[in-house]
């Protein structure tokens, strides 16, 4: 158990819909990262927040948005969903602001299926 | 944009040493190389991290040449429980900002 929690575990929805994925970081961690993992794209970095502020941005679509709240939990919002958005979405957290020098602790993931 | 590439799969037997290489020819200066292990239906888990030369911990070693354009994860005496997918992670610079890039992943199968 990494100490990072994600809800829901599974999510099935239809094209065109909007969903929200939630992540609670490990106690004491200030950074939250979001990743998308699909069979054909591997692990793709989406976005990082550090202490409430956007820190780094990856291949995040304009239909996707995220935020980190004062209690440090984070939400990833996916809108106008397409079939290709079906994937595992992981959240990770770390103590500091640097995603490649700090150890990232990953949650169990949310499996999104778009029908 | 730089690609971070790894062999797709490797097979080994219990007790053997396994070396997995990651090519990252556009790594950002002063940034580290990190390796993660992922089991099915779980999130990746940290294995080891380094900047240059060699790093060793209780589970693995990491070899990084002077040009830092590649790195090699070495797993000594693998067991069946080492069957997993292994990813390298680097930061690359693209139009002035840093981006985290996971490698393509190497699926390691350890057989008895």
Residue numbers in B near A35 (CB within 8 A): 102
Residue numbers in B near A107 (CB within 8 A): 43
Q: Give the per-residue pLDDT at A100.
A: 75
Burial class, A1, CB count within 10 angstroms (exposed 0-12 / middle 13-18 / buried 19+): exposed
Q: How confident is the model over A66-105, as pLDDT tens digits?
A: 999 999 999 999 999 999 999 999 999 999 888 777 899 9
B33 close to A102: Cβ distance less than 8 angstroms = no
Which of A6-10, A55-59, A77-81, B14-18 bottoms out in mean pLDDT, i.e. has the lowest? A55-59
- Averaged pLDDT, A39-61: 90
Q: Give the per-residue pLDDT at B45.
A: 95
For B:21-80, CB contacts with A below 8 A are 31-34, 36, 41-46, 49
Residue numbers in B near A49 (CB within 8 A): none
Q: Give the per-residue pLDDT at B44.
A: 95
Bigger pLDDT: B40 vs B21:
B21
Bigger pLDDT: A80 vs B69:
A80
Triad A14, A79, B38: Cα angle to 5°: 85
Q: Give the per-residue pLDDT at B2.
A: 54
For residue A73, give the 3-state DSSP assignment.
coil
What is the rounded average pLDDT for all residues in chain A? 94
Query: Can you tell me the distance from the alpha carbon of B79 to that of B92, in angstroms, rounded to the nearest whole number?
Result: 33
Q: Give the per-residue pLDDT at B93.
A: 57
The strand pairing partners of B74, in sequence order, are B19, B61
The rounded radius of gyration (Å) of the Cα atoms in chain A is 13
Q: How confident is the model over B24-48, as pLDDT tens digits?
A: 887 777 788 999 999 988 999 999 9
């Amino acid at each position: 158990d990494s100490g990072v929690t994600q809800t829901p575990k599974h999510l099935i929805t239809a094209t065109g819909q909007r969903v929200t994925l939630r992540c609670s970081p490990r106690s004491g961690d200030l950074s939250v990262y979001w990743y998308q993992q699909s069979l054909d794209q591997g692990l793709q970095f989406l976005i990082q927040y550090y202490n409430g502020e956007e820190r780094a941005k990856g291949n995040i679509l304009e239909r996707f948005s995220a935020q980190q709240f004062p209690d440090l939990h984070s939400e990833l919002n996916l809108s106008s969903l397409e079939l290709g958005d079906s994937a595992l979405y992981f959240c990770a957290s770390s103590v500091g602001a640097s995603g490649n020098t700090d150890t990232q602790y990953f949650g169990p993931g949310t499996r999104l299926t778009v029908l | 944009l730089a690609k971070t590439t790894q062999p797709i799969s490797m097979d080994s037997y219990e007790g053997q040493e396994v070396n997995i290489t990651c090519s990252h020819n556009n790594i950002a200066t002063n940034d580290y190389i990190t390796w993660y292990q992922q089991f099915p239906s779980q999130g990746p888990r940290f294995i080891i991290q380094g900047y240059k030369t060699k790093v060793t911990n209780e589970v693995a070693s990491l070899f990084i040449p002077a040009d830092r354009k590649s790195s090699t994860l070495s797993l000594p005496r693998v067991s069946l429980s080492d069957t997993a997918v292994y990813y390298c992670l680097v930061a690359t610079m693209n139009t002035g900002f840093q981006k985290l890039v996971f490698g393509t992943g190497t699926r390691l199968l350890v057989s008895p």
